[in-house]
Chains A and B, each alone.
Chain A
Amino acid sequence: MKHILMAAGALAFSLTPLYAQNFDDPQEFAKQRDQLQAEPMGPEGQPWLQYIGGDMVDTAALGLEAPATVCFSNAGVNNPWRVVGYTNMVEELKNHASIADFIHVDAEGSDDKQIADIDDLLAGGDCDVMIVSPNTTAALTPAVERACEAMPVIVFDRGVNTDCPVSFIHPVGGYGFGIQGAEFITSKLDEGANVLMLRILPGVDVLETRYSAGRRILEEAGMNIVGAEFTDGDNAKTKSIVEDYLMRGSIDAVWMDAGATAVAAIEAFEDSGYDIPVFVGEDQQDFLRKWQDEGLTAIAPTYPTYQWRTAVIAAARVIEGEPLPGPEWVLPQPAIVQENLDDYVNPAMPPLHYAMCGCEEMADYPQAWGGN
């Protein structure tokens, strides 16, 4: 049995390079680097309405009449980022009289279920516009194509391999996230400094691109990457991994591909009696508060949850026949830095709240997001 497994393994291994996807694309890297610098168009101070790149699509020809029904096929609300995003969405709906009805179906993180959900929505025949937040890009493409034949479709967060949707809404992207964090580290530390890279899990497009961009910049600056470890997004595991690294040597900076476990990583330094090094986290309140309380040298790149608002706005514009940025609506992707940290820390908000939500001015803030 073992031999067969090993042989099968060897066979698979020899095949792998052929099918490995490219998460380290220099062109996309350069493009996103430019987009981070670009001046977005649209209203000042309302990043969820802003866009980078000027292409617009006309929707008057789609011939919808207000009020209409919007259906939303959601990949899941299975993590705090998606919870904050979905709350943004529900609150944004209150601003749009043209959306009479909103039907939400939740695929609970399964491609198969999301395909069935979209088919159900199409068979139900109630929807006028569909918003899709795909669980994975490739798998959902056929279902989205079928939906496109029946009605206008808005896609956001992860994309699909087809240009049939009216618009694909997303922030700058994974390379951008990786670039912001890694450039901060290289600006604070000298060549040869020890950097620990913590990642959630392999294989997810948006996380792989963050990592490849981060690693590229750190290596070009001559940083010494002491390790790149997967944490599964688990606090206890993250803390253990960092403790193990501290037993072996010193760490000058920690780069993370997502900030959910940043505080656990910081605590590993505190509990082992070390100074907290340069840190790359994300815009969750617990990290921001820790940063402020302990006076860290840190940055929080974001993958803004306000894109969930934008999806609703786009659907409303489709119904009203207004033009909207498309076929790609690239939202700005700001990072939280020392200078604007105080604007985002809010002790009234829950620890896992994502601060870059663009929701502070909304009617039911902060209660709807769990604040008090």
Chain B
Amino acid sequence: MSIAEDTPRRKAGFRFERWAPLILLGGALAIYVVVALVTGQAQYLTFDNLIAILGRSIALGITAIGQTFVILVASIDLSVASLISATAVLASVVMDGSPAMILPAILAAIALGGLVGLTNGLVVSGLKVNPLIATLGMSLIIQGCLSAFVSNFAGEVPAAFQMFAYGELGPFPVALLFLGLLAVMAWAVLRFTKFGSDIYAVGGNEEAARFAGIKTGRVVILSHVICSICASIAGLYLASRLRSGAPWIGSDGVYDLESIAVVVIGGTVLAGGRGGVWGTMAGMLIFSLIDSVFNIAGVDSFAKQVLRGIIIVAAVAFYAIRSKRIVA
């Protein structure tokens, strides 16, 4: 067994890596259909239900798109959950029920996200602090600042803004279309722009990327900014969905760890450099399907947790077991 081999085997024609997320997604979908049929609940196989499943994890999906960027550059962001709470509260407080304040609130939320992302990026790339620690520290700081001032739902979102979470365009929820659009944009950035290819280069091998003339620090910072802005959009979505923001909504949803799990289940490698947004979307759908399967099968909520933990590890093993590199 050669140990220095760092790239996975590539067979001509069929590239396992590329299709693995789809295989997993297909598996999850098959389980869902089988469970619905076996338990005699075919009513769960309608179009309405499909939309409901797709709409289950929109906040998680938006966050995970951002998380994909930082993981691709071999960084990570644990501060998204607190940031989601912070932007949801900020937006709902700024709006406070007045439709005229919607735009300022959105801008304020995005600005806060940009600021947090910039700081994360600077601390990671400038001060060379391990991203896990940098963003964990940032998470504590945000959560502390937030709960110093707010201890419950604060402010109110005007009815017009609730369109974001509850509106529908034809048969599709607005938020779902938005998520799709965001994914397409992220994919386009990663696929067609220089910044996109720089991300893969930096994540693959930072030293080499630097020697190739890429301003690696800038790429890392920008990725963090994108990640944090996605988290603030998720915060806006949750404020719209919950009609208000509270300082615990991010941590209650465990968006930090779940978004990381979704990204890696989607085939993006934690070490950086390989993966993409469509995998992440597949990962999000797998999560939603699993949730729905648990609900229709009536799985005991404690057993649910046990299964979920095992599924995360198994899904990642599904990709990783073929790799020859040593992981830690």
Contact = CB atoms under 8 A, between A and B. Distances in A.
Interface of A: 1, 4-5, 8-9, 12-13, 15-16, 19, 21, 76-77, 103-106, 108-113, 115-117, 119-120, 123-126, 136, 138-139, 141-142, 202-205, 208
B287 to A, nearest CB: 11
Interface in B160-182: 162, 166
27 contacts: A12-B93, A12-B150, A13-B148, A13-B149, A15-B149, A16-B149, A16-B154, A19-B155, A77-B302, A106-B301, A108-B301, A108-B304, A109-B252, A110-B252, A111-B242, A113-B56, A115-B241, A116-B52, A116-B56, A117-B295, A136-B153, A138-B243, A139-B241, A139-B242, A139-B244, A203-B147, A203-B151
A116 B55 contact: yes
B249 A111 contact: yes
B115 interface: yes
A120 B291 CA distance: 11
A12 B247 CA distance: 13
Given A112-B253, A126-B41, A203-B152, A15 B241 contact: no
Given A104-B298, A139-B244, A112 B145 contact: no
Interface stretch (B17-25, B43-51, B261-269): B43-51
Contacts of A115: 241-242
B119 interface: yes
B246 interface: yes
Nearest to A142: B243
Contact of A19 (B57, B150, B295, B301): B150
B125 interface: no
Contacts of A204: 152
Contacts, number: 110
B119 A1 contact: yes
A243 to B, nearest CB: 25
Contacts of A125: 43
B129 to A, nearest CB: 14
Interface residues of B, number: 49
B238 interface: yes
A107 to B, nearest CB: 9
Contacts of A16: 149-150, 154
B148 A112 contact: no
B44 A124 contact: yes
Interface pairs A-B: 3 shortest CB-CB: A203-B151, A139-B242, A106-B301
A15 B93 contact: yes
Contact of B154 (A19, A104, A208): A19
B153 A141 contact: no
A308 B205 CA distance: 57
B301 A77 contact: yes
B281 interface: no
B293 to A, nearest CB: 12
Contact of A203 (B119, B248, B295): B248
B253 A110 contact: yes
Interface string B234-261: 0000100111101111001100000000
Given A19-B93, A108-B301, A136-B246, A202 B41 contact: no
B141 interface: yes
Nearest to B244: A138
A5 B141 contact: yes
Contact of B153 (A105, A119, A120, A138): A138
Nearest to B301: A106
B54 to A, nearest CB: 11
A141 B243 contact: yes
B242 A138 contact: yes
A21 B152 contact: yes
A5 B93 CA distance: 17
Given A111-B249, A138-B153, A123 B145 contact: no
